Structure 1
Amino acid sequence: MKTVVLDEQEKVEEIISRCDICYVGMVDNENNPYVIPMNFGYQDGVIYLHSGPTGHSIDILNHNNNVCITFSIDHELVFQHPQVACSYRMKAKSVICRGKVHFIENLEDKRDALNIIMKQYSDKTFEYSDPAVKNVKIWEIPIDSISAKEYGVPHKR
């Protein structure tokens, strides 16, 4: 089995669209990694996330806004021989994005971002009260670099 690089934008966006969460990695002031699962929205090369207005991740991002975001789908344990442990591996497709977090403050822009996030999970239309929108932190991450791979692809015989 081999790993294949996925270069086609359609395949990259299909992986992202099929995910229900992403993993967001950042580095704190002591150079310790911090990774959290989050729900998300994606549109036109930008990832949108939302959180509470304060917390450990917000403290980290206020000092270092670089993030790495990972998406992964189609997980399946495969092997070449059932008795050979080293032949086992996880078949999957993944996308890794890097960018810098910018916080959206404008209420209408926050509503637009919330709609993009909700579009990932529902076809419904939502209304957002001013207090709710004011109390949410919206993360906007334009993607600076992106890579995608498919793991566990059979070798052609």
Structure 2
Amino acid sequence: MRRKDREITDAKQIEEILKEGKVCYLALCKENEPYVVPMHYAWQSGYLYLHSAREGKKVEFAKQNPQVSFCIVPQWEIIEGSRSCDWTTHYRSVMGSGVVEFVEDVAEKTKALETFMGHYTSERFEFSKAMLDRVLVWKIKVDELTGKKNP
């Protein structure tokens, strides 16, 4: 990281950012074609969980190349300066990379979806067999994770 003064090295602060964020920008690449898509997510124990339909462009990309990267920015604010070069942005962010696997085991898929829903609400949900069959759960084992903030 070029700006070491902005690097977040405290694992607790990185966890806070991951738990606070609501959107994950997922970067995929297939045959030298990049693709970035915003997705809802959940974080637990070194894994990033996503969900989607069973088919579509992002699924096609991930199946062809399961290596992905992501960015989560729960907080940002543009700070105006008196001159154009004095403007800045205050933010907290986390970036990472890892390998996607798709969860097919019903018990693991249910647990992942409970984790996912717990990220957005305290309500409890039950998942029907039809819904579980319809949804694709993404499980990304995170290899690298970095945090950054300003100020």
Same fold (TM over 0.5): yes
Larger of the two Rg values belongs to structure: 1
Structure-1 residue corresponding to 2:136: 137
SS of 1:90 mapped into structure 2:
strand
Give the fraction of aligned pairs with identical amino acids, expressed as a percent.
Answer: 28
Q: Give 1:142 shift.
A: 1.1
| 2:110 is equivalent to residue 111 of structure 1 | yes
d(CA) in 1 for partners of 2:49, 2:72: 14
Structure-2 residue corresponding to 1:21: 23
Tell me, which stretches of 5 or more residues in structure 1 are unaligned? Answer: none
| Aligned Cα root-mean-square deviation (Å) | 1.2
- Residue from 13, 23, 26 that aligns with 1:11: 13
Where in structure 2 are the equivalents of 1:3-152 lying within 5 Å?
A: 3-29=5-31, 31-79=32-80, 81-82=81-82, 84-151=83-150
Relative to structure 2, which stretch is displaced further, 70-79 or 51-60? Answer: 70-79
d(CA) in 1 for partners of 2:37, 2:126: 27
Runs of 4+ in 1 over 6 A off after TM superposition: none
The structure with the greater share of residues assigned to helix is 2
Matched positions, count: 148
Contact 2:22 2:74 in 1 (8 A): no
Tell me, which stretches of 5 or more residues in structure 2 are unaligned? Answer: none
TM-score, with structure 2 as normaliser: 0.94
SS of 2:6 mapped into structure 1:
strand
d(CA) in 2 for partners of 1:106, 1:128: 14
